[in-house]
Structure 1
Amino acid sequence: MDQLDRRIIAALQHNARESTSKIAAKLGVARTTVHERINRMEERGVIAGYSVVLNSPEDAPRVQVVVLLEVQQKETKRIINRLEAYPEVKLCLSINGEFDLLLSAEAPRIEDLDILVDDLAKIPGVLRTNTSVVFGRRIDRI
């Protein structure tokens, strides 16, 4: 992948339904170039698919937290299976460093997330947690 491929992907992540003509115009290249590169990235598996992102109703505000978990290594798989049961948990990443898992969770109220974090700390094999409240999204390509 080169810089143009990355720019095409960024445009698609912003709006996957935008026409290749509009993407080409924004990037200053020919429409056929954009079309061929998208096809090539799809064939190579770089672009695995497209999805729909639903907008939350304005009257349903969400609070988001990032939770770091330190876990006993032998319990990681079982802990991840337990995490799947929490609908508030939207993302779980395995990371290196001081903590082992990074979670993104959201709920309508901070009190709901307070209960969630307390519950997470009680899971056998979770050694400690560290939680941060998200104030805002600066770049969101999901």
Structure 2
Amino acid sequence: MVVEVLDELDRRLIALLRADSRMPASALAARLKVSRGTAQNRIDRLLARGVIQGFTIRTRPELEGSRVRAIMCIAVEGERSGAVVKALRGLPTVDKVHTTNGRWDLIAELDTETLREFSDTLDRIRTIEGIASTETSILLATQKF
């Protein structure tokens, strides 16, 4: 498996698209403080390399019964949290990353379309340099309060 190397601009662009995949290139460029052409070229390159595999919409969680959502607890080696968070930020199936105290250093929220994509995500995360160990739990149901 080839691990993609994304720079900070790529990761920030992916994060913006994750929040709103319909955001125009001009708006992305303004938020990233780059030219419209640079933003569009980055999107095109990420699409061509397969980093971005498509654009999607979000629906209410109760309508997404077939998605695989999980929580991954991550122990980080030494003082490598920043580098690990940066690497996680570039993965489209990582929805959020939280820092925490206690046994685990980070908690990642994963959101995938299929079990195959879920398995691939676990494989990619486990190869990130600086991760000592992980423990993952699939979310079976969500209760609203």
Give me the whole-angstrom Cα distance separating, in 2, the residues matched to 1:125 and 1:59.
33
User: Residue 98 of structure 2 corresponds to which residue in structure 1?
Assistant: 93
TM-score under structure 2 length normalisation: 0.55
Alignment of 1:49-64 (within 5 A): 54-55=58-59, 61-64=66-69
The amino acid across from 2:85 in the alignment is I
Give the greater-gyration-radius structure (CA): 1
1:84 correspondence with 2:89: yes
* Superposition TM-score, scaled by structure 1 size: 0.56
> 2:58 & 2:112 partners in 1: Cα distance?
16
**Which of the residues 88, 102, 107 maps onto 2:107?**
102
Amino acid at match of 1:106: D
Partners of 1:59 and 1:68 in 2: CA distance: 23
**What amino acid is aligned across from residue 55 of structure 1 in structure 2?**
T
Structure 1: stretches of 5+ with no match in the other structure: 1-52
Spell out structure 1 runs of 4+ moving beyond 2 A.
Answer: 56-61
Cα drift, residue 54 of structure 1? 4.2
1:12-69 alpha-carbon deviations (Å, 9 max, x no partner): xxxxxxxxxxxxxxxxxxxxxxxxxxxxxxxxxxxxxxxxx94169588311011000
Q: Does structure 2 conserve the Cα–Cα contact (< 8 Å) formed by 1:60 and 1:108? A: no
Aligned to 2:54: none
Structure 1 equivalent of residue 39 of structure 2: none
Aligned partner letter, 1:118: D
Cα RMSD, aligned residues only: 2.4
Identity within the alignment, %: 19
How many angstroms apart in 1 are the aligned matches of 2:144 and 2:64? 23
Which residue of 2 is the match for residue 124 of structure 1? 129
Other-structure match for 2:13:
none
* Map of 2:24 onto structure 1: none
Residue identity in the other structure for 2:107: L
